[in-house]
Amino acid sequence: MDVRFYPIETNKRAKGNSYTVRWKVAHKKHSKTYKKRVVADDERSKLMAAHRKREPFDIEVGLPVSWSSKSAEVNWFQFAVEYVDWKWPRASGNTRKNMAKALTPVTITLLRTPPPTHFEPVKVRRALREYAFNVNRRSDPAKPVPDDVQTILDWIRRNSLPMSAWEKSENVDRVVMALGTLLDGTAAAASSVTRNDRIMNLVMGYAIRHNYLKVNPFPKGKGERAAPKVAQAIDKRCLLNRDLVAKMLDWIGERPRRGRLYRAFFATLYYAGLRPEEAVGLRVGDATLPEIGWGEFLIHEAQPEVGSQWTDTGEVHEERDLKGRGEGDTRTVPIHPTLVAILREVIEEYGLGKGDLLFPGEKGGMLAGSVFRRVWAKARQEILSEHECKTPTGKRVYDLRHTCLTTWLNSGIPPAQVAEWAGNSGPVLLAIYARCIVGQLDDYLKRIEGVQDLPLAAV
């Protein structure tokens, strides 16, 4: 095929010179203009190198046929937006949010000149996370994308590297580094790195299936980059003893206005081992509360707090099925008599009906995570000593659930039963709590002693 190349032309303009590369494939002329001479030289050299290798050129496009693959035509930013659009309808709110968090540093890394210095870094990350990778905000006709955000996204679209950039190991290395590093330069938590790796491997799977890439470029195995180990077992130091819980619940219950309701919420986590997102979604009718003795919860939904911009309904919470269970599945959990009394008191005080939320927020909606976390943090500061406050003891509201499940196991309740009440599988439960089972060693040793004892002859 006849391919001819012409000298680079300099176009003199008031705002600065530009440079045009011209060439002809068979009878058709082609040209491309660049702002910098060095870029024009580089592109012309690539075209000439392809011709020297006798690569066939596409007459209409004017480029080597091998360049016409998707990896050369589509850049990373365009592909990432396409992936988000494809994944969004089937993803939960948390999945959407985590996906946007992972794609943001990758996109910044895969720019021609990362990071962009003429935009504030915070604004760049926000434009990507909150708009480019958020279908709700990007496609809302009532609230168009702000002009300053659109300017940033347009610049990123123009300056994003092509998908073929994944074929270069140095680019992959930079992405891996970005996914494992926080903004301040410190290493990200192992759980965050593992989550980002999982998300990016799903992204790469989509790229391979749709012919953007031939192989998954992410390193695997100990020889290249071993995934960080995430500790499954809980830290014993996070557990609370009974006296501390009692003091904290008493302090919370004495707070003006809604203290008793908050006390009932935290008591539910401590006595019944519910996850916070399960407790906030409880209705009065989900609880059987006899006047005397044990009651029972029927748990059938969770209401994780993910943010209104990530849900289809525009609500802060998203209604989900129970974690690790099939669609529409339920589980029952016993209610300790003390908790029964606390809940009956709250229902009467607030005049709640069977269809009402058991722990309503101040305006009648779901109890906000920011609210109950703030209440718990204040109680912790008031009750714990200065030294204890610096330790992991009860640092998270979720530690009340950990304390409950550990108490059940240490009371001799079979792990299978605890797993059923907690909504975990048996293996997961033991992996998390086995180290916290104490107080039963003497009994176990006595059992072994009797079984293994042999009638040895006297020496």
Residue 457 has pLDDT above 80, yes or no: no
Rounded Cα distance, 99 and 87, in Å: 9
Residue 445 lies in a domain: no
Query: Which tokens sit at 238?
Result: 């996070």
Which amino acid makes up residue 107?
T
Domain end marker among 194, 209, 224? 209
295: Cα within 13 Å, side-chain hemisphere: 24
Residue 80 has pLDDT above 90, yes or no: yes
Does the predicted model carry a pTM greater than 0.85? no
In this structure, are 92 and 184 located in the same domain?
Answer: yes
pLDDT in tens, 184-200: 888 888 888 889 999 99
In this structure, are 54 and 181 located in the same domain?
Answer: no
Confidence of residue 394 (pLDDT cuts 50, 70, 90): very high
pLDDT computed for residue 72 by the predictor: 59
Residue 441 lies in a domain: no
In this structure, are 289 and 371 located in the same domain?
Answer: yes
Q: Are 334 and 288 in contact (CB under 8 A)?
A: no
Residue 418 has pLDDT above 70, yes or no: yes
CATH code for position 336: 1.10.443.10
The arithmetic mean of pLDDT across residues 417-433, rounded, is: 85
Per the prediction, the chain carries an average pLDDT of: 87
Residue 458 has pLDDT above 60, yes or no: no
- Which range of 45-54, 70-79, 96-105 scores highest in mean pLDDT? It is 96-105
In this structure, are 175 and 291 located in the same domain?
Answer: no
Rounded Cα distance, 295 and 414, in Å: 20
In this structure, are 129 and 177 located in the same domain?
Answer: yes
Question: In which residue are the tokens 């009440």 written?
Answer: 421
Query: Which range, of 12-26, 86-100, 122-136, 248-262, averages the lowest pLDDT?
Result: 12-26
Residue 258 lies in a domain: yes
pLDDT computed for residue 2 by the predictor: 86
Q: Which residues contact 196 (CB under 8 A, 6 or more apart)?
A: 101, 102, 179, 180, 188
Task: Tell me the β-bridge partners of 295.
Answer: 335
In this structure, are 38 and 78 located in the same domain?
Answer: no
In this structure, are 279 and 422 located in the same domain?
Answer: yes
In this structure, are 197 and 246 located in the same domain?
Answer: no
Closest by Cα among 188, 206, 220, 176 to 85:
206
pLDDT in tens, 296-322: 999 998 888 888 899 888 888 888 877
Rounded Cα distance, 187 and 70, in Å: 34
Residue 125 lies in a domain: yes
Answer positive or negative: Cα dihedral of 65, 68, 69, 72.
Answer: positive
Q: What is the DSSP letter of 65?
A: G
194: Cα within 13 Å, side-chain hemisphere: 9
In this structure, are 289 and 403 located in the same domain?
Answer: yes
Residue 431 has pLDDT above 70, yes or no: yes
Rounded Cα distance, 79 and 307, in Å: 25
pLDDT computed for residue 220 by the predictor: 66
Query: Which range, of 367-381, 391-405, 406-420, 440-454, averages the lowest pLDDT?
Result: 440-454
Residue 164 has pLDDT above 90, yes or no: no
pLDDT in tens, 86-108: 999 989 999 999 999 999 999 99
Domain extent, residue 32, equals 3-66
For the chain, give the percent of residues with pLDDT over 90. Answer: 50
In this structure, are 52 and 153 located in the same domain?
Answer: no
b/e string for 221-238 if b means 16 or more Cβ within 10 A?
eeeebeeeeeeeebeeeb
pLDDT computed for residue 26 by the predictor: 87
426: Cα within 13 Å, side-chain hemisphere: 5
**Which long-range contacts (C-beta less than 8 Å, at least 24 apart) are formed by 418-421?**
420/331, 421/273, 421/331, 421/332, 421/333, 421/334
Confidence of residue 233 (pLDDT cuts 50, 70, 90): confident
Question: In which residue are the tokens 């030294």 written?
Answer: 387
Decide the pairing of beta strands 18-25 and 3-5: antiparallel
Confidence of residue 364 (pLDDT cuts 50, 70, 90): confident
Residue 49 lies in a domain: yes
In this structure, are 170 and 249 located in the same domain?
Answer: no
For the chain, give the percent of residues with pLDDT over 70. Answer: 88
Q: Are 305 and 316 in contact (CB under 8 A)?
A: yes
Closest by Cα among 373, 422, 383 to 402:
422
Residue 426 lies in a domain: yes
End-to-end Cα spacing for the chain = 100
The arithmetic mean of pLDDT across residues 439-457, rounded, is: 62
Q: Which residues contact 153 (CB under 8 A, 6 or more apart)?
A: 127, 128, 131, 132, 145
Report CA 302 to chain centroid distance, whole Å: 17
Residue 163 has pLDDT above 80, yes or no: yes
* Total domain count, the chain: 3
pLDDT computed for residue 117 by the predictor: 80
Q: Are 429 and 419 in contact (CB under 8 A)?
A: yes
Domain end marker among 43, 66, 89? 66
Residue 218 lies in a domain: no
Residue 220 lies in a domain: no
Higher pLDDT, 261 or 193: 261
In this structure, are 244 and 149 located in the same domain?
Answer: no
Domain end marker among 193, 209, 225? 209
